[in-house]
Structures are given as structure tokens and as C-alpha cells.
Amino acid sequence: MSLVPMRAILQASLDAYKAGSQFAVGAYNVNNMEQIQGIMMAANQTQSPVIIQASRGALKYADMDYLKHLMQAAVELNPGIPVAMHLDHGNNLDSVKKSISLGFTSVMIDGSLMEDGKTASTYDYNVKVTKEVVEYAHNFGVTVEGELGTLGGIEDGVGSGKIHLTDPDQVVDFVNKTGVDALAIAIGTSHGAYKFKEEPKLAFDIIEKIRKMIPDKFLVSHGSSSVPAELIDMINKYGGNMKKTMGVPVASLQKAIKLGMNKINVDTDGRLAVTAAIRKVFTEAPDKFDPRDYLKPAREALAAIIAQRMNDFGTAGHIKDVKMISLAEMAKFYKK
């Protein structure tokens, strides 16, 4: 069985960092069958462990039970690939409970925002809700990711729209009070396609400081799509209307990985690849009407960009470094 707690996958990244040969694992968002298949195609091709994540919006769009079975099919069909099923931007204990009941092996509780997923919360609120989730999830051996600081950008209602970089002085207290496994930190990245007008300067000093403060916790970077200009150009060439924009350069992500980043969230790059491929078919072959004629190229385009990121983040070839551990074993570990 290749379904593992996210902790097992991220531990391989942290061990590599400590041994001086860093790599990170991408967490890729899914909403449908083709996205899940595309990601697994990329993981197979590059022999990478993978985190498949679903937002609350995805669970609503696809219907939770469909996503559960699609993700489980991915796991069954790929016994050699370690996979974690992760809830992205959980907003309260209820969303966490639902995901765990569906078989997710990891959850994020985004207590940096209130339940509406938009309003910035207080530190005390964040500690309270995150602690509550850790106490619940660890009973099931499920990994928990929390967040300190807020990102820029808003995707379907997720995000305050304002960047508040993580305050390193809060980190040790937050981790000790909550018991989270992984911490998403705000270093200047942003959700969505319209992140920056010019090349961003990320707060690498914050990563360095925090990495030293919590050497055994996993660090997470959200809003990390690179928004390739070629994909924006391709979308516009085939009838789209996207404005000029910039994402997080791959080189900046690689620098973050060198400094100890373990999990990198990518959604937008996949969305762009899928849209560009579908627009191409619609423009070049307007007579086509069988969904397979455009969903197959879309799935292949997604697989290509994800395989690229698996190489960029150094995840490729690291399957063997993941210890295959069950949720039950993990639950025992947390009890100790």
C-alpha cells in the first residue's frame, strides 16, 4: 500500500537537508480525474513521492466521495509510489474531521485566517484552532500542517490578499503550544496567477532563521507557482485574455529548498497548463466535440509541467527514501 502519512514523505526531505543534499516535495492540487492521473503520470515518470492535495473548494466541486475514490484509485494503481492525501487550507475542525473520515493522511488547518478563509485571525485564535486539530488528527496518525503569517493573493476566497511575513519570534511558541508537524511560513509568495509585476524578492533570511529554530519540523511554502510566461502566451495565442504577470521563479524556490524548505504548493501552474492545452485544441480543431480530444492533451500537459517541477524541486528519484509507515504506526508514534 503506497498511501502514507505526509510526515513519512516530508521526513525524507528533512533527512536529506540534514545530510546536506536537499530536495523538497511538491504538493499539487486536484479537482478531477484527469488532474490526479496527470500527477501520477509525472510521479511515475520521475519516480517521485507525491502529495496530492484537495482544497475545500475542490471537495465541494468534485463531491468529497468522488475525490476520495479517485485518489484511492491513484494509490491502488501505483503501489510503488508513496502518496499522501492532504487537505489544503482546512478552515476548522469540521473540515478536518470530514477529510480524515474520507481517508486523508494529512490535513492543513489554516488558522492564520478566520473560518471564512479571508479575514486575518489573531495569534491566540490560530494557536487555539491549530492545537484542537492536532489533538484530534494525531489520534488517527494523520499529519498536521499549520500556518503562521499570511500570503498575498486570493484564490476562490482563500487568502487575506495581504502579505504578512511570518514573525520568527512567534515560531517556537506556536510549534510548542500546538504540536504541528509542518509549518507553512509566509516569505513573500502569493496565491494565484497574478502574484507579482516584477521579479519578487523572497525573505530568505526568515527561512534561515526559522529552519534553525525548529530543526525537526517541516517547512512549507504556499503560493509557489512560477506562472511560466510561455503558458500565459499560449493561452493568449489561442484566444485567452490573461494579463502580463510573474510568479515565483524556480531559482528562488531552489534557493528556498537549499535553506530547508520541505513542501512546495503548486496549483496555478497546473491550471495554466491544462487551460493552454484545451484552448489549443479548441482553436486548431474547432470541429472536435469529444471531451477526450481535449482532456487527453490537457492531462499530458499537466503531467509535463508537474514532472518539470519534480525535477526542479529535486524530488525525482527519491521514492526509496520514504519509509512506508501506516497511519496506525504513526498514531502509536504520536501517543509516545
Looking at the annotation, which residues are catalytic? 88
Exposure b/e, 49-74, CB count within 10 A at least 16 = b: bbbbbbbbbbbeebebeebbebbeeb
Q: Supply the minimum distance, in Å, between the C-beta of residue 264 and ligand 13P.
A: 9
User: Residue 169: left (phi > 0), alpha (psi -120 to 50), or beta?
Assistant: alpha
Give the containing element (helix H, strand E) for 62.
Answer: helix 56-62
> Which residue in 253, 239, 325 sits closest to 282, CA to CA?
239
CB closer to ligand 13P, 107 vs 319: 107
> Judged by CB, which is closer to ligand G3H: 27, or 322?
27
Q: Which of 22, 46, 265, 315 binds ligand 13P (CB under 6 A)?
A: 265
The site for ligand 13P, by CB under 6 A, has a size of 14
146 half-sphere exposure, CB direction, 13 A CA radius: 31
Residue 308 backbone dihedrals phi, psi, to 5 degrees? -60, -45
* 156 touches, from ligand G3H, ligand 13P, Zn ion, none (C-beta below 5 to 8 Å by class): ligand G3H
Of 4, 9, 2, which is closest to residue 79 (Cα–Cα)?
2
Binding status of residue 195 toward Zn ion by CB under 5 A: no
Q: Mask of contacts with ligand 13P, 279-318, x by CB under 6 A?
A: ----------------------------------------
Say whether residue 86 binds Zn ion (CB under 5 A): no
Kindly indicate which of the ranges 4-12, 129-137, 220-228, 319-327 contains the residues binding Zn ion, using the contact rule CB under 5 A: 220-228
- Helices 64-77/93-102 angle, 10° precision: 40
Q: Minimum CB separation from ligand G3H for residue 57, in Å?
A: 3
Rule CB under 6 A: is residue 149 a binding residue for ligand 13P?
no
User: Using the rule CB under 6 A, is 253 a contact of ligand 13P?
Assistant: no
Binding residue for ligand 13P, selected from 7, 217, 222, 299, defined by CB under 6 A: 222
Binding partner of residue 225 among ligand G3H, Zn ion, ligand 13P, none, CB cut-off 5 to 8 Å per kind:
ligand 13P
By rule CB under 6 A, what string of x and - marks binding of each residue 159-198 to ligand 13P? --------------------------------xx------
Chain contacts with ligand G3H (rule: CB under 6 A)? 29, 55, 57-58, 88-89, 155-156, 158, 191, 267
Question: Which CB sits closer to ligand 13P, 245 or 326?
Answer: 245
d(CA 19, CA 233): 40
Q: How far is the CB of 236 from Zn ion (least distance, A)?
A: 26
d(CA 254, CA 196): 18
**Joined grid coordinates for residue 27:** 504538493
Q: How far is CA 68 from CA 36, 105, 177, 336, in A?
A: 11, 11, 32, 30
| Residues ≥6 apart with Cβ < 8 Å to 201 | 188
Q: Which stretch binds Zn ion (CB under 5 A): 63-71, 209-217, 225-233, 265-273?
A: 265-273
